[in-house]
Amino acid sequence: MGHPYIPNTREIREQMLDEIGVASIDELFADIPEKIRLRRELKLPRQMSELEVKRHVQAMQAKNKPFTKMLSFLGGGVWPHHIPPHVQSLVQRSEFLTSYTPYQAEVSQGMLQALFEYQSVVCELTGMDVANASMYDWATAIGEAVLMCARVTGRKKVLVPELISPERFAVLQNYASGPGLELVKLGFDWSTGQLDMSQLRAELGQDVACVYIENPSYLGFLETHVEEIADAAHHAGALFTVGVNPISLGMLKAPGDYGADIVVGEGQPLGSPVSFGGPTLGIFACRDDQKLVRQIPGRLIGMTATLDGKTRGFTMVLQTREQHIRRERATSNICSNEALCAVAAAIYTVSLGSRGLRELAEICAANASYAMKELDAIDGLEAPIFASPHFNEFTLRCTQPKLTIEKLNTKLLKREIQGGKPISREFPEFGETAVLCTTELHTKESIDQLVDAAAEAVGARR
Amino acid sequence: MKFKQASWASDACLEPLVFELSRANRTGYTLPQKKLPEVNIPENLARTKLELPELSEPEIVRHYTRLSQMNYGVDSGFYPLGSCTMKYNPKICEELAALETASCIHPYQDEDTVQGALELMYKLERCLTEIAGVARVCLHPSAGAHGEFLGMLLTRAYHKSRGKESKEVIVPDSAHGTNFASAAMAGFDVIVVPSNSRGRVDIEALRKAVSKKTAALMLTNPNTLGLFEDEILEIAEAVHKVGGLLYYDGANLNGILGKTRPGDMGFDIVHFNLHKTFSTPHGGGGPGSGPIGVSRKLEKFLPVPVIEYNKKRRRYYLDYNRPQSVGKIKAFYGNFGVLVKAYAYILLMGANGLQEITEAAVLNANYITRKLQGVEGYELKFDASGPCKHEVVFSVEPMKKNYGVKAHFIAKRLLDFGVHAPTYYFPPIVPEALMIEPTETETKEELDRFIAAMKEIAEEAKSHPDKLLAAPTATAIGRLDEAKASREPILSWRMYRKLPSKI
């Protein structure tokens, strides 16, 4: 019998061996030293038929409770949104799905143009001129941005907000460790969460490579003194890097329009499923400045013409920055990236268009605003903990002394509601607090359900 | 076989850019009605201008369908791109990764509501642990190079825990470019060791290169010439003797599945490319997945969280309590969607199937080798008599000398035969290199067609070199001005719009 994915049957393989004068298949492995040859079968689960595998994986995954089958208020780095079916059906087209990196431009125009369109969409959203064809995720994009800032400025100090996502900060620490960059956390105003401007100015010397902020922040509020931060950074000769949730850019000013030199972010909400946190899509964009563009990490797709100059086409450009040519002097080690998620992001974003993205952002923000107002009205709960404008995420503090945020979540879960992400371990100074997220998946009614369940959990009458 | 790629073209371009297709007020999306009051954003943060294209759904579908038709994947035809293991990707794996129960779960959900996801990752880890002969696997890295970076962080943590400041990572001259870059990114100095006349690591040169400063040797085995490093035990001994670690670049794992294991060869750290060996699609460059396997002594340094199983409670959980962990290299726990596909693939194959993959892949590579060996123009620079593993590297130096035909001309001409080009000019130790990896999923008939095409091209080099210089002609577009593209880069619609003269 043949094998479904190995088309050459045993008979054909015998014939091939014969044709090339090899006595047996073992002869082709004779170069593996005796001592290290595996003399037994690998101990793996038994081989299964396609149907068995399907049932097995389905049954295993049925132990998960998808957020589509309950009410969930989780965000915090990946965010659930409705994905129009045509987005996934287009990226599943096997000419895209089963292609490798478009090294052969002539036979890969489709992927190259789609990625050029992704880069273009990212530039429109962020107000930058140049975007790469993707990084792994937001966290690694910050890491790469900080390394780039250090190369461009020749400096080693990096300023980040204390309220940066702790997971992203943990990744940044590892990326910054190679060249020994110094990461300094900047404090915040306790009532508003806003970056401490006086500390920023105090730390901003001639040794600072990069000032990084997140807008919206990890805790959901908007950083409002963005022009001042940009001016201060630039005055000291540092580069200003902003991290974003791209959906927010439907209603928020492009970071390029308030002075950002580099914009990073998480592109997953643009057309990729949450999928337990991966694959994700690292957004990376910068200004059209030769000093920056020469140092950008990752793949870049550029427009050009055929050699006869007659037809427009697309190709990978500035490859001399990359590892396969520059080796240890490359701007990054990245090779495989998240190209297909980038194509999904392009398709998703152009499906919405300018008006759609604005409306979507407005719905997400309006839902959060309503949820905050209703939750804050409950005795024993406080939302948000910062008096600042918010986008679609916000903090919820449990002030009822007998109730921890974890216990509140457990009670909500009994009502088929997944509450926010507890941050009491990450930021103990904020007490029993969680970060909640709303998107267009939520309705006024579903938020009311959360509010009712939360009121019951804290024992408040409404 | 005749090949002609689709080419949707208007006057001076192929399919227009999506921005050029935009018409005001078209939309490809519907949203629920707004019922709640709008949120006021401070004026300095409010958006006043956004210029995204506006198209309807049928226009969008047609645009990207046309683009896809101007792209070439494994599903289109033979893709012998060396070191990239472009094998067929079973469709059932896609279906399973897209399950609502797998794709609509959030990484911060209560652990009780994601037991199936944790179980799948735990079991995939166990499979990979056995396949590579290591103690423990971490599924976090998003790609091979990401795994290499993690491997280097683990190397640093290991030496630091032993009070050593080892600063040097040794890499053979035939290694993948990512090895050099990953080591440098983690702050190591890169030392290059040459290959010997047999195309393997020069063991004498290695012995001279190792010292107390050696943190690790990064090695691909089979190496990038497709040759098995048969002195691997001596190599391992030389590195371990000075306290260094051995790092395995798993790009070429397809050549040894079930035959031997990196752990048994003496490797301390191993990365896997699930998007190569374990058949998850490359998606035009990604997403991939590059898990790391480690020996016992490195386990405690692995990133958090680690997935554990509580037997008594029959419950999987995420363990963050790992004081010696290197921390994190990615938000969350890995490219889960890719992991589902790889797990399904391993079950579909089983132990015997995995070994059969390697046997068929290696046979296919040797079949091409022997059939092209002796054809005028194609030359093997190293160890021409022994078997290769999953891939073979030919040099077309004779063709360049005699007829001025370089490797990339042959690669471009192959496109006209409906075959994707092999990797070329790599590894750099082979002049005019063509690196060919057929994988196990090709038929003998396809290999014969490829061999015939290669012979025909060798003939053309002699008789009609002009044909080679003009190639490709069967593709959506002809040869592009790549030099201009990098000299005056146009990287977005915004940059293009600002140009005084358009392309």
For residues A128 and A234, state if they share a domain.
yes
Tell me the per-residue pLDDT of A86-137, one tens digit each, with 9 for 90 and over.
999 999 999 999 999 999 999 999 999 999 999 999 999 999 999 999 999 9
CATH number of residue A430's parent domain: 3.90.1150.10
CATH number of residue A95's parent domain: 3.40.640.10
Q: For position B12, what pLDDT does the model report?
A: 81
For chain B, give the mean pLDDT. Answer: 96
A104·B489 Cβ contact <8 A = no
Q: For position B34, what pLDDT does the model report?
A: 86
- Which of A348, A381, A407 is at the close of a domain? A348
For residues A195 and A324, state if they share a domain.
yes
- Chain B residues inside the 8 Å CB shell of A349: 52
Does some domain include residue A28? no
A2 touches B: beta carbon within 8 Å: no
The strand pair at A421-422 and A381-382 is best described as unpaired
* pLDDT band at A461; cut points 50, 70, 90: low
For residues A310 and A370, state if they share a domain.
no
CB atoms within 10 A of CB B141: 28
- Of B319, B332, B143, the C-alpha closest to A166 is B332
Q: What is the ipTM of this complex?
A: 0.98
Does some domain include residue A52? no
For residues A174 and A257, state if they share a domain.
yes
- Which of A316, A348, A380 is at the close of a domain? A348
B48, B491, B498: best mutation site toward chain A, by most A Cβ within 10 Å?
B491
For residues A74 and A89, state if they share a domain.
no
Q: For position A462, what pLDDT does the model report?
A: 58
A65·B359 Cβ contact <8 A = no
Does some domain include residue A216? yes
Which residue range is the domain that position A91 belongs to?
A: 85-348
Does some domain include residue A370? yes
How many Cα atoms within 13 Å fall on the side-chain side of residue A326?
21
For residues A323 and A405, state if they share a domain.
no
Average pLDDT (B398-407) is 94
For residues A367 and A432, state if they share a domain.
yes
d(CA A68, CA A55) in angstroms, rounded, equals 21
A329 touches B: beta carbon within 8 Å: yes
For residues A244 and A121, state if they share a domain.
yes
For residues A216 and A244, state if they share a domain.
yes
- Which of A330, A348, A366 is at the close of a domain? A348
CB B28 within 8 A of CB A210: no
Whether residue B429 is predicted with pLDDT greater than 90 in this model: the reply is yes
DSSP B70-124: T---TTTS---BTTS------HHHHHHHT-HHHHS--TTS-GGGBHHHHHHHHHH
CA distance B479 to chain A (A): 6
- Chain B residues inside the 8 Å CB shell of A164: none
List, as ranges, residues 72-101 from A with C-beta within 8 Å of B: 72, 74, 76-78, 80, 84, 86, 88-101
For residues A367 and A315, state if they share a domain.
no
H or E stretch at B265 = helix B262-265
* pLDDT band at B460; cut points 50, 70, 90: very high
**Cα of B433 vs its chain's centroid, Å:** 19
Does some domain include residue A390? yes
- Chain A residues inside the 8 Å CB shell of B227: 31
Tell me the per-residue pLDDT of A331-389, one tens digit each, with 9 for 90 and over.
999 999 999 999 999 999 999 999 999 999 999 999 999 999 999 999 999 999 999 99
Domain ranges of chain B: 92-347
The CATH fold of domain B92-347: Aspartate Aminotransferase; domain 2 (3.40.640)
d(CA B356, CA B349) in angstroms, rounded, equals 9
Q: For position B13, what pLDDT does the model report?
A: 86
* pLDDT band at A28; cut points 50, 70, 90: very high
CA distance A202 to chain B (A): 25
- Chain B residues inside the 8 Å CB shell of A6: 353, 356-357, 360, 440-441
For residues A216 and A116, state if they share a domain.
yes
Tell me the per-residue pLDDT of B114-154, one tens digit each, with 9 for 90 and over.
999 999 999 999 999 999 999 999 999 999 999 999 999 99
Does some domain include residue A42? no
Does some domain include residue A428? yes
Does some domain include residue A151? yes
For residues A240 and A136, state if they share a domain.
yes
Tell me the per-residue pLDDT of B6-63, one tens digit each, with 9 for 90 and over.
999 987 889 999 999 999 999 999 999 888 998 989 999 999 999 999 999 999 999 9
d(CA B338, CA B344) in angstroms, rounded, equals 10
Total structural domains within chain A: 2
Coil, strand, or helix at residue A124? helix
